[in-house]
Structure 1
Amino acid sequence: MEIKLRYVNEQDKWIIYNWSNDVTTRKMSFNSKEISKEQHDLWFESLLASSRCWIAELAEGSLPVGMFRVNGEGIVGISVSGDYRGKGIGTSILEEAIKLLEREKEIHHISDLVAFIKIVNEPSISLFKKAGFGCEGITEYSGSVCYKYVYKL
């Protein structure tokens, strides 16, 4: 499926909230507790201000299917709607995000993309490997033992 990326906007707030509180998403996140609406409000406002978060839409029909974000240190996060997991959407999102960041790396001042992935999160491990990220070993991140995957832009 072909996807396109667009910057996150205010209308995306609650769809991202729902994706973030999905049972599988919470299980694979470093903080597995449900996110309150108040926490999401604060986080979302900072996300909008960062200009480093994109919604992935199906190219045909503009249906939101996922999200990609990267912070100032190059640490990435990706979410895929539960309805679209296991269909290659995550790979498409990551590939499009890499292309975008390679074109705009001077704008975002990022040279490496870094993914910290829980050891039990096999779908994400597979996704980042497919996208060309290399494993740099096991480390600790956010209080959890995880893999560190890196992609050189």
Structure 2
Amino acid sequence: MLTKIRPIRREDLSSVLSWRNHPDVRQYMYTQQEIAWEEHLAWFESVCARDNSHVMIFENDGIPSGVLNINIVSKSDKRAEWGFYLSPMAAKGSGSLLGSQACEFVFESLGLHKLCGEVLAYNHRSIKFHERLGFKQEAILREHHCDGSRYHDVIGFGLLAAEWKVQRRT
């Protein structure tokens, strides 16, 4: 199975928006309302203009299957935050493949020291996913996010380059 990540292109936007607006994806996002095309296009143009942001498409056997967003928050500390989601139709096991590709990109291609992520505490699948990749829980941000009616805890995760190198050998 051939997997890769590549920079997002304008022709990807329609698929990416349909994935992002799918209820199975949207329920685990900070912004849970449906995204309009104009807002989506503005987001794309904004991230393309930033030099600290890498928005990538994950491909599995040549089929676009997910989105990866790497935001370098500190160049001096070599630290980034990530966000990602898969197409609701992505093949089983795509998440692990996306995670491996992302870590390879962050730690090998970009040469960063640390990758951080946040997960809504009720997203048990994403919590397990981060743990399988070798991320360590670093924080519980109590009632950190309000979905419009309820506050939710957010789990903060971190993965160091050295930990990833050990993890990928096992």
User: TM bucket by the smaller chain?
Assistant: 0.7 to 0.9
1:5 aligned partner: 5
CA contact (8 A) 1:7 1:55 kept: yes
Alignment partners' CA distance in 2, 1:112 and 1:33: 31
1:52 aligned partner: 54
Which runs of structure 2 are paired with 1:3-152 in the superposition (5 Å)? Answer: 3-50=3-50, 52-58=54-60, 60=61, 62-73=62-73, 74-84=80-90, 87-106=92-111, 110-139=112-141, 141=144, 143=146, 144-152=152-160
Alignment partners' CA distance in 1, 2:65 and 2:159: 23
Alignment partners' CA distance in 2, 1:142 and 1:42: 24
- Tell me which moved more, 141-150 or 123-132: 141-150
CA contact (8 A) 2:70 2:82 kept: yes
SS in 2 for 1:71: strand
SS in 2 for 1:77: strand
How much does 1:49 deviate? 2.9
The runs of 5 or more residues in structure 2 that have no matched partner are 74-79, 147-151, 162-170
SS in 2 for 1:34: coil
SS in 1 for 2:72: coil
CA contact (8 A) 1:138 1:147 kept: yes
How many residues of Structure 1 are paired with residues of Structure 2 in the alignment?
147
Q: Which amino acid aligns with 1:121?
A: N
SS in 1 for 2:27: helix
How much does 1:137 deviate? 2.5
- % same residue: 24
How much does 1:142 deviate? 5.1
SS in 1 for 2:33: coil
- TM (normalized to structure 1)? 0.87
Tell which structure's C-alpha radius of gyration is larger.
Answer: 2
The runs of 5 or more residues in structure 1 that have no matched partner are none
